[in-house]
Structure 1
Amino acid sequence: MFIEQAKKENFRFLSYLPIPVFFLTLMVANYIMAADVDTDEAIHQSIAAIGENLTFVMLIIPLSVACLFLWGWVKIIHHQSITSLTTSRPKVDWGRIFFSFGLWAGLSVAMTLAVYFSSPENFKINFQLGPFLTFFILAIILIPLQTSFEEYLFRGYMMQGIGVVTRSRLIPLLITSIMFGLMHIANPEVGKMGYVILIYYIGTGFFLGIITLMDEGLELALGFHAANNLVGALLVTSDWTAFQTHSILKDMSEPTAGFDVILPVFVIFPILLYIFSKKYQWKNWKEKLTGKIVFEK
């Protein structure tokens, strides 16, 4: 079972604390500093000084490098394999990663095209071949590392650690999902749309946590998260998002938090859960999401 794999004879919860505490401290510090800084303006100034691609690298490289650091910490400090941090299966199921990636990438493209053709006046063509190709190379390298760090930290490292200590599945699901949503509280999108958008971020955290627990591994979450950030960054940018890139389209509309916040959480994510559950024959939902963890003696 996925959570149980972190339980070893030399398991020490104190050795789990440095990374979550450090990351939580950074989150709080970032939020406090963002309160006194116009994040949107700071991003624009950076783009004016060093360009969109270098600004993108500057924003994403810390979490991309953090992914490599987390893997090293798990191997050296916890003596745990990356495979056991990723999945309960004997080896990582890349088919699951690619299926989840392809499913959400396809839906994302379809929904973006639907919005574009229904309201073309809200967009302008932003495509420039040279800058786009440079950004594409940077994006396919750095974005999967960034999204993988978030998955390994919240749905892997923290879910396993909290689960082992509390012997609960529900408690780590609640804690990691809420923390994942709050991690985005300093994003420019929150400043533009208001705190209501946290419904989407926290809802996404719950969705990713549920598929991790039900599937006994991170593969589906890794694929979904990579597709969400990568396809979104390549397809559409705007002047008010965290990533302002050399994408294909630029959204010129005024940001509002309405149906587009509710739709994914309460409609699309349940449909995806149904698709995954049928494909991978998930059973015992109550036990896997809320049951107690019992370790073999």
Structure 2
Amino acid sequence: MAASGGAGDRPGKGRQRSGNPAVRGGVQPPRERTARPVAPLTKEYLPGQLPVDGAPYPLALRNPETVWWRSLLGALFGLSLYLLLVILVSTLVVRIGWIVTHPVDYNTYYAQALAYERPIGLLASNAGIAVLIPISLALVLVIHHARTHWLFSVQPGMRWRYLLVCLGVSAVVFVGIQAVMELASPAARIAPQADFGLFLAVVLISSPIQAAAEEIFFRGYLMQALGSAVAKPWFGVVASSLVFALMHGTQNLALFVNRLAFGLLAGLLVWLVGGLEAGIAAHVLNNIVAFGWAGLTTSIAGLRSVQALTWAQSGLQIAAFVLCAGLTLVVARLMRLRTRVDLSAPGVTSPA
């Protein structure tokens, strides 16, 4: 709209007569206000749902709404839910198995299942651990008000091609290291345990879910929550690894160091590659090879009861973890994966 004078201005003195009757009558129109854009809650991200641009994976839950006590509360709440639900889910699965088969009295059946003398025990344990996945997703949404796909990588979301390559690399490493360990101990011989076929089916179907659940919670949610609480990536890696090792119960020092080393290496790898894929792959193959070989040579119940390793055994397994981490890191560099949050990348701020 062209600028105009008041009622006292006369035509012919360099000013044009306004076409607005209200202006000619001396009434000034109201000033237009610039409306602030408001994103529809169902279609766009809220500012608090996005991490800081350039943040590494361990800080992906840190946003303008982050306060340290909320992150700590989420971590404690998650661990409490896990300890409660894993028992409830595992007991429910065993109870259903007993009702369907009813081979012996329930107390005997439950004790055998708990010791992994029956396939249902391994299935029940893995099903209980699997609850870590919905727990992690719920905590990200409710406690941190963030989108759940930041839990998997800084892309965001799961990078499936990289996961598949990491599964192949991990298979070669862990099968190879198992072969080396057996050559060092030639006493082992192939003698499949009773019900090996059922045990193997349970291992192949449920162990990948169990391993992924542990990675999503410990290297995913717990590392992000603790790292974001203090804005220090290393703190999330170290703290979550300590909790992971301690949660495995009774163990000698060599076995504790073994599990702590796995947690630290997996956490460092997640930080460096910007996602959970390599850690999930290594955890899945480690468990499948360990349980599969135990079922072929001794028993899965025997592996379940292990509470000690020698330092030589622990060191050899740690070497396998280091080799696997190094190879998957090289793969990530060759694939040029995004390792930090990039809010300007295509699709990052689109609706989930």
Give the structure-2-normalised TM-score.
Answer: 0.62
Look up the SS of the partner of 2:60 in the other structure.
Answer: helix
Q: Which residue of 1 aligns with 2:25?
A: none
Structure with the larger helix share: 1
Q: String of CA shifts for 1:159-215, please: whole Å, max 9, x gaps.
A: 1112222111221111111211111133xxx2xxx2321110101111101100110
Matched, 1:20 2:86: no
8 Å contact kept, 1:56–1:243: no
Alignment of 1:1-297 (within 5 A): 1-22=56-77, 24=79, 45-47=111-113, 52-116=118-182, 119-126=185-192, 131-186=195-250, 190=251, 194-237=252-295, 238=299, 239-242=301-304, 256-265=309-318, 267-281=319-333
Look up the SS of the partner of 1:125 in the other structure.
Answer: coil
Alpha-carbon shift at residue 88 of structure 1 (Å): 0.4
Change (3 A) 1:109 1:49: closer
8 Å contact kept, 2:200–2:292: yes
8 Å contact kept, 1:155–1:212: yes
Gaps of 5+ in 2: 1-55, 85-107, 340-352
Q: Highest CA radius of gyration, 1 or 2?
A: 2
Tell me the distance in 1 between the aligned counterparts of 2:115 and 2:277.
38
Corresponding letter in the other structure for 1:274: G
Tell me the distance in 2 between the aligned counterparts of 1:142 and 1:80.
29
8 Å contact kept, 1:233–1:243: no
Tell me the distance in 1 between the aligned counterparts of 2:324 and 2:148.
27
Q: Which residue of 1 aligns with 2:30?
A: none
Gaps of 5+ in 1: 30-41, 245-253, 283-287, 289-297
Q: Which residue of 1 aligns with 2:12?
A: none
Corresponding letter in the other structure for 2:320: I
Number of aligned residue pairs: give it: 255
Instruction: Please say which of residues 113-122 and 209-218 is displaced more in the overlay.
Output: 113-122
Give the structure-1-normalised TM-score.
Answer: 0.72
Q: String of CA shifts for 1:216-254, please: whole Å, max 9, x gaps.
A: 11111111111111232222244432289xxxxxxxxx9
Root-mean-square deviation (CA, aligned residues, Å) is 3.5
Corresponding letter in the other structure for 1:208: A
Change (3 A) 1:136 1:104: same
